[in-house]
């Protein structure tokens, strides 16, 4: 029933529990989205039928948490000036959803018109960096007093990953050596210090080729 709501109505529902409270447990969700044209052509459907329902279910499951949403969009490795097209740190969900709903092209979604692989590893590492910064912030650092913070990554892709073996656009040195093989280890690190981390993977292109 909730998936039948207009995207703006769904986003408004998410806003209700997004107020920040330094003593409150945090639900932190990062959306990692590729810039493929294949995804952009189905963007309205993907947003309303996939992304928003997932966010709504998470918000309901952790209704006592302060809900914060981050965003990373990525393109091809040779994209100028860099393959990371946009980054938004963890803020109220309504601010990020407004951009995704009203002007996804401004975020780079749809800017890659070819069929080549895109820099998914760069996007995932960028999301991990955002979590590192969040978890080391004054509001979350220090004694947890039994609080359990929850971290989720939603990866939405219309193109396969490219052949990149290591990230080159991260700013935290300890992530320089991350590969697809070691990515699960880094995700586990996000789960330390009283936090849990989960990843959702949504691919949409093949569904529309049948």
Quick one: average pLDDT of 9-23?
46
Residues 46-51 have a mean pLDDT of 93
Closest CA to 104 of 39, 193, 184: 39
Any idea which of 16-25, 89-98, 127-136, 182-191 has the lowest mean pLDDT?
A: 16-25
What does the chain come to in residues? 210
Q: What is the pLDDT of residue 210?
A: 43
Q: Is 50's pLDDT higher than 60?
A: yes
Task: Please report which confidence band the pLDDT of residue 31 belongs to, taking 50, 70 and 90 as the band edges.
Answer: very high
Region 9-32: mean pLDDT is 63
Answer whether residue 3 shows pLDDT above 60.
no
With vertex at residue 71, the alpha carbon angle to CA 46 and CA 115, rounded to the nearest 5 degrees, is: 55
The distance of Cα 159 from the centroid of its chain, to the nearest Å, equals 16
Q: What is the pLDDT of residue 114?
A: 80
Helix, strand, or coil here: 104?
helix
Q: Under a CB-based contact definition with an 8 Å cutoff, are residues 81 and 66 in contact?
A: no
Q: Is 158 helix (H, G, I), strand (E, B) or coil?
A: coil
Residues 90-142 have pLDDT tens digits of: 999 999 999 999 999 999 999 998 878 999 999 999 999 999 998 887 666 55
pLDDT at residue 17 in the model = 36
Given this model, what pLDDT does residue 15 score? 44
Please give the pLDDT value at position 12.
47
Distance between CA atoms of residues 200 and 163, nearest Å: 21
**Whether the predicted pLDDT of 42 surpasses 90:** yes
- Quote the pTM value: 0.82
Which token pair is 152? 């989720």
Gyration radius from the chain CA atoms: 17
172 — pLDDT class (breaks 50, 70, 90):
very high
DSSP H stretches of helix in the chain: 7-15, 37-40, 43-46, 52-61, 93-102, 120-135, 183-190
What number of CA atoms fall less than 13 Å from residue 171's CA on the CB side?
Answer: 9
The Cα 142–Cα 8 span in angstroms is 37
Task: Specify whether the backbone of 110 is left (phi greater than 0), alpha (psi in -120 to 50) or beta.
Answer: left
Q: Which domains are assigned to the chain?
A: 2-203 (3.40.50)
71 close to 91: Cβ distance less than 8 angstroms: no
- Would the pLDDT of 63 be above 60? yes
């Amino acid at each position: 029933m909730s998936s039948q709501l207009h995207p703006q109505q769904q986003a408004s529902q998410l806003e209700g529990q997004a107020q920040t409270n330094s003593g409150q447990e945090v639900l932190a969700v990062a959306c990692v989205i590729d810039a493929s044209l294949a995804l952009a052509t189905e963007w309205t459907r993907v947003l309303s039928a996939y992304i928003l329902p997932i966010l709504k279910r998470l918000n309901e499951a952790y209704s006592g948490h302060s809900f914060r949403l981050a965003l990373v969009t990525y393109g091809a490795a040779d994209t100028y000036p860099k393959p990371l097209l946009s980054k938004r740190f963890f803020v109220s969900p309504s601010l990020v959803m407004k951009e995704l709903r009203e002007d996804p092209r401004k975020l780079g979604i749809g800017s890659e018109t070819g069929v080549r692989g895109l820099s998914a590893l760069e996007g995932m590492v960028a999301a991990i960096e955002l979590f590192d910064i969040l978890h080391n912030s004054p509001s979350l650092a220090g004694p947890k007093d039994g609080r359990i913070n929850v971290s989720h990554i939603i990866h939405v892709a219309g193109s396969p990953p490219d052949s990149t073996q290591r990230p080159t656009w991260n700013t935290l040195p300890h992530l320089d050596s991350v590969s697809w093989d070691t990515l699960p280890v880094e995700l586990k690190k996000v789960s330390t210090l009283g936090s849990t981390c989960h990843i959702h993977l949504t691919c949409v292109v093949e569904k529309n080729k049948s």
